[in-house]
Structure 1
Amino acid sequence: MARKDFDPETVRPDGRPAAKGPLYDASGDGPWRGNIPGELLGGPVTVLAYGNDTPGAGPRLHVHPYDETFIVIAGRARFFVGDEVIEAGAGEVVLGPKGVPHRFVNIGPGRLQTIDIHHAPRWIQTDLD
């Protein structure tokens, strides 16, 4: 099915060039594989790569002044977003609204891999525990 969600004649390029940057070193260790700030690419979002092989492990409770979108690439996770508990697996997406404390853990079995999109040109976070 062909899509036509908007008229291309109504949108003008803003002059920014296409950009490329490293997200992570594929040979590296540790759960935080890397991140690329949107401001480095001239874009409005920052992208993080996270993964771990240990059920029960995950980032500490924290909060951002902007939304965060989590894409589960592999494995299963339990997200704690405010008072909500959401389980998500590979191919699913979870939203952490701005100002709402959140964290997630690997619920196994195996590796949890996520791509975390921070809806800001740079990563801003306050840890709460």
Structure 2
Amino acid sequence: MARHDFDPDTVVPDGRPPAKARLFDGALTGPYRGSVNGETLPTQVTILTYGNDEPGTGPVLHVHPYDEVFVIQEGRARFFVGDQVIDAEAGEIVLGPAALPHRFINLGPGRLQTLDIHLSPKWIQTNLE
């Protein structure tokens, strides 16, 4: 599919060089395997990786002052965002809008793996549980 959404001649590089950072070490155990603050790259997006093999478990209820986008890479999850309940599976994404408390659990069977995109140069969070 050919895309031509803008004219490349109208965009000027901002001077940032390409950058690389390690998101996670595959040898680490536990649900939180790593994160990269956007300011490391530098960009306005922070990325976390989360996964667990235990249905019914997940992060505690928490809130951010910015949007968070969850990419379900493997398995199935139930998200609690504000007063909404959203079931999602591998290949789907879920939005957690700024200031809405949220959490999610692994619905099973098997592993849940997510890539969590925080629209902020830093991971800022308040746990509510």
TM-score class, shorter = over 0.9
Partner of 2:80: 80
> TM-score, normalized by length of structure 2?
0.99
**For 1:98, what is the secondary structure of its paired residue?**
coil
Stretches (4+) displaced over 3 A: none
User: Structure 1 residue 6 and structure 2 residue 11: aligned?
Assistant: no
Secondary structure of the 1:86 match is strand
- Structure 1: any 5+ residue segments left out of the alignment? none
Identical pairs, percent = 66
Cα offset for 1:18?
Answer: 0.5
Q: Secondary structure at the match of 1:116?
A: strand
Alpha-carbon shift at residue 6 of structure 1 (Å):
1.0
Aligned-partner Cα distance in 2 for 1:30–1:125: 19
Q: What one-letter code is carried by the residue in structure 2 that aligns with 1:48?
A: L
TM-score (structure 1 length as normaliser) = 0.99
Which AA in structure 1 matches 2:51? Answer: G
Counterpart-to-counterpart distance in 2, 1:72 and 1:81 = 15
SS of alignment partner, residue 49 of structure 2: strand
SS at match of 1:39: helix
Aligned residues: 129
Unaligned runs of 5+ in 2: none
Superposed, 1:71-110 pairs within 5 Å as: 71-110=71-110
CA apart distance, 1:58:
0.2
